[in-house]
Amino acid sequence: MKDFVEQQIIEAVRGLLTRRVNQLLGDMESHIPLIEFSNYRGGTAVCPIISFSNCEQSEKERIIRLEAYSLTITLSLPELPENELLCYAYAGAVTRAFYDDPTLGGLVDRAVITGKKYVQPKMPNCSEGWELIISLRVTVEAMKT
């Protein structure tokens, strides 16, 4: 049953990215490639990778029986001159989406962005693009799992 709840969390994050984040990106004035989950490798969409793991619980979370998870969303952008700006646009849209829906539609107690990391190419013009890494902490009532 625990794996099922973890899968639901991943699917809820995917849904938030493909629906709300894409809506926010579409409302921006400049053209920003949308997020999709497929094997597509091109300039018209970005395919993020979501990594999921258990997270260390605080003493309070143990007492009130909250499960804590850590998620990492990694967006790799192909080498383009405007990719630094695109990283900031994606980070802003993802932040806004999680601010608007911190419970992922009521599935979790709280999903919070704990960090954003912007990774620039080590060498310019070497076929390596920018990366945006967003870290999340998700808490769920133990009775739901």
Cβ atoms of 129 and 56 closer than 8 Å: no
Coil, helix or strand at residue 130 = coil
Higher pLDDT, 59 or 33: 33
Query: Within 13 Å, how many C-alpha atoms sit on residue 47's CB side?
Result: 7
Residue 1's pLDDT band (cuts 50, 70, 90)? very low
For 34, 67, 83, 96, the CA distances from 89, given in Å and listed in that order, are: 11, 31, 10, 11
pLDDT tens column, 37-86: 877 666 678 889 999 887 777 777 777 778 888 999 999 887 777 888 99
Taken as a whole, the chain contains a residue count of: 145
Longest dimension (CA), the chain: 52
pTM given for the model: 0.86
Domains with residue ranges and CATH for the chain:
2-144 (3.30.70.1700)
Return the minimum-mean-pLDDT range out of 12-16, 36-40, 112-116, 132-136. Answer: 36-40
Start-to-end CA span in the chain (Å): 7
